[in-house]
Structure 1
Amino acid sequence: MSRYSLMPLPCRADLFEVAVGWDSGLDTYFITVFGTPVIQREPEVRLWRGNVWRDLVAAQELVAIAGQYAEVPADLTTRLEEDRIAAPHQLRQPINRVISELLGRVPEK
């Protein structure tokens, strides 16, 4: 799993953080957009994609969504694709088999 913290766009003062990355367990990229926290409270989650099986399978799609909320480094697509290659979804790992079974997917033999 990888995670990058992106700086919200200057016009998005209502945001605290935009987190993006690769989740090999769910075989998806993810983005979480956090609102500015209220005193003594956790930041509100404004957007959460990639929290279900294969929700975002293309790094370019993730980067396009992130660009609506945050400053995106020029090499982010490449870094995310490298993360996926370095840590691919492996159904044979016990936790991934459990997740697949819970989601009603038939495990590979």
Structure 2
Amino acid sequence: MSRYSLKPLPNRTDLFEVAVGWDPGLSTYFAIVFGAPEIACEPKVLLWRGRSYCEIYGVAELLDIVREFAEVAPGLQCRLDADRSAEPTS
């Protein structure tokens, strides 16, 4: 499994983190958006896609989901493709 932490967009001060990656066990990419934590609390999950089998099979679809929340670094698509190739479906 891979996981990358993306920087929320500057206008999304309500967010703590956006995480993406490849889950070979579920044969899907995933995206999790965490809200800003309240004092002494864990960040709340605001969006979680890719938690069922083959839900997000393409990198382009994954990146379309997260672009409204986070900055997508150049080369991320290639890394995610490589992760899927390195850890194929279980």
With normalisation by structure 1, the TM-score equals 0.81
Unmatched 5+ stretches in structure 2:
none
Measured against aligned partners, the alpha-carbon deviations of 1:64-100 in whole angstroms (never above 9, x if no partner) come to: 111110010121111101000000013xxxxxxxxxx
Measure how far apart 1:28 and its partner are.
0.1
Higher share in strand: 2
**Runs of at least 5 residues in structure 1 that lack an aligned partner in the other structure:** 91-109
Q: Secondary structure at the match of 1:22?
A: strand
Aligned-partner residue type, residue 46 of structure 1: L
TM superposition outliers: structure 1 runs of 4+ over 3 Å:
none
Q: Distance in 2 between matches of 1:63 and 1:78?
A: 12
Partner of 2:80: 80
Q: Report the aligned-residue RMSD.
A: 0.6
Residue 22 of structure 2 is matched in structure 1 by 22
Q: Residue 47 of structure 1 aligns with which residue?
A: 47
TM-score, normalised on structure 2?
Answer: 0.97
2:35 paired residue number: 35
Larger Rg: 1
Task: Tell which has more relative contact order, 1 or 2 (C-alpha 8 A, sep 6+).
Answer: 2
